[in-house]
Amino acid sequence: MQKDKLINYFFYIGLVALIIVYTYETVVTFAPINGYIGDEVWYPSSAYNILKLVFHVTPPPMTKIGYPNEQNIQSYINPEHPPLAKYIMALFIYLMGYYPVAWRLPSWILGDLMLVVAFFLGRKLIGNNTIGNLAGLLSSLLIALDPNVWALHGIALLDIYVSFFSLLSLYFLVRDNLLWASISLALAMASKEPAYVLIFPFLYYLGEVTNSVKKRAIYGLGIPIFVYLLISVPLIIYYGSITTWLDSTVIHRAVWDITNGHITLTATSQISTPWDWFLNIHPFYLGYGLYASTNPYVLILWIITTPIAFIFRDYKLITVTMWAWTEWIGFVIVYFLGNHTLFSFYVTDFMPVVDIYVVVALFKLAQRINILK
């Protein structure tokens, strides 16, 4: 028992060291950029407006950065996406002022926390032993080295929020903590709409662990919808009624997501299809020398290793890989419904799960063929 604790502490020290390095590199890379990076023109400004228009709070005065030069930006609250990430940005802006560090700091924090969740998820899937600890640490390391997650965790876009909360939901799910898994799923859904489709692998997992239709309904649908609506209450009040809120946000969002117009179709170097992501074709340029590049090696390994979960009939491993595939399929559906202006930075929504799955699947394969014991 004492030996196991010492081994755990050894890997905890490794995890802490990784987080320290990751945090340092994050700060020295992104803190000096004193301006909007990529789509930051939309979200910090809408968070600032939410303080004024939705919460009726007097925000701190605009700094010399000011509003970006976009049409109607001074009243824009970004109805195209759910509100949670903007609420969080708004809180940091209120406390720290309208500065890039203030609106990016939540993303940095979530990036660090993601490494922690990845470690414990990877270990949970393998076992609380030396091999499990190693799988957990390698999962965290692979996420830390992921170029897409790196770029998106450093700036104030929405994808790191849905990525973190959906990963947290998956962690609680495989631990069979259904309440917190359900709540975390709602937080992911309230961050950005790609998380909506995670209801399907969530329900699959519930079907594997319980025969109760009532439990499936409560944890798989009831709690996520309730929490999502609870988070939306300030906007419902702002719009004046549930029907107006639905029309102005949820329905508007659905139409927006399946329509071209996120960028001009002539900007071919910025647009990439879901299948382009596997080969890092047209990585999105964020500005300041930053690209939302993908990791083709890990993504191709994901394709190759996905059958392992089904061959081993491991429902937890199946859930992990389908967690990521479901989001990817969601983007494919959006593409074929008419939105041909998709971007490589969407990969961040599901890439941490892919990184963890590849590590765990390879470890399980090695264990099955007696390379690891």
Ramachandran region, residue 108 (left: φ > 0; alpha: ψ -120 to 50; beta: rest)? alpha
CB atoms within 10 A of CB 364: 20
Report how far residue 318's alpha carbon sits from residue 259's, in angstroms, rounded to the nearest whole number: 32
pLDDT tens figures, 274-309? 999 999 999 999 999 999 999 999 999 999 999 999
Structure tokens at 255: 């139409």
pLDDT band at residue 174 using 50, 70 and 90 as cut-offs: very high
At 140, which amino acid appears? S
pLDDT tens figures, 188-220? 999 999 999 999 999 999 999 999 999 999 999
DSSP H or E run through 181: helix 178-189
Percent of the chain surpassing pLDDT 90 = 87
Question: Quick check: 96 pLDDT over 90?
Answer: yes
Report how far residue 76's alpha carbon sits from residue 69's, in angstroms, rounded to the nearest whole number: 12
At 229, which amino acid appears? L
Q: What is the pLDDT of residue 371?
A: 73
Report how far residue 13's alpha carbon sits from residue 203's, in angstroms, rounded to the nearest whole number: 36
Report how far residue 277's alpha carbon sits from residue 267's, in angstroms, rounded to the nearest whole number: 17
Read off the pLDDT of each residue in 214-233 and give the average, rounded to a whole number.
Answer: 96
Q: What is the pLDDT of residue 128?
A: 86
Q: What is the pLDDT of residue 7?
A: 80
At 105, which amino acid appears? L
pLDDT band at residue 9 using 50, 70 and 90 as cut-offs: confident
Read off the pLDDT of each residue in 47-51 and give the average, rounded to a whole number.
Answer: 96
Read off the pLDDT of each residue in 312-323 and give the average, rounded to a whole number.
Answer: 97
Angstrom CA distances, 175 to 114, 120, 241, stand at 17, 10, 39
Report how far residue 151's alpha carbon sits from residue 362's, in angstroms, rounded to the nearest whole number: 26
pLDDT tens figures, 238-267? 999 999 999 999 998 899 888 887 777 767
Question: Quick check: 372 pLDDT over 70?
Answer: no
| SS3 (DSSP) at 125 | helix
Inter-axis angle of helices 159-174 and 351-368, to 10 degrees?
Answer: 40
Q: What is the pLDDT of residue 2?
A: 64
Structure tokens at 176: 């069979």
Structure tokens at 258: 């399946």
At 350, which amino acid appears? F
Question: Quick check: 318 pLDDT over 80?
Answer: yes
CB atoms within 10 A of CB 311: 10
Cα-based angle 32, 112, 43 (whole degrees, multiple of 5): 55
Residues 6+ apart with CB under 8 A from 88: 106, 161
Read off the pLDDT of each residue in 66-70 and give the average, rounded to a whole number.
Answer: 91
Structure tokens at 101: 């560090």
Structure tokens at 233: 């209450």
Percent of the chain surpassing pLDDT 70 = 98
Q: Please give the mean pLDDT across all residues of the chain.
A: 94
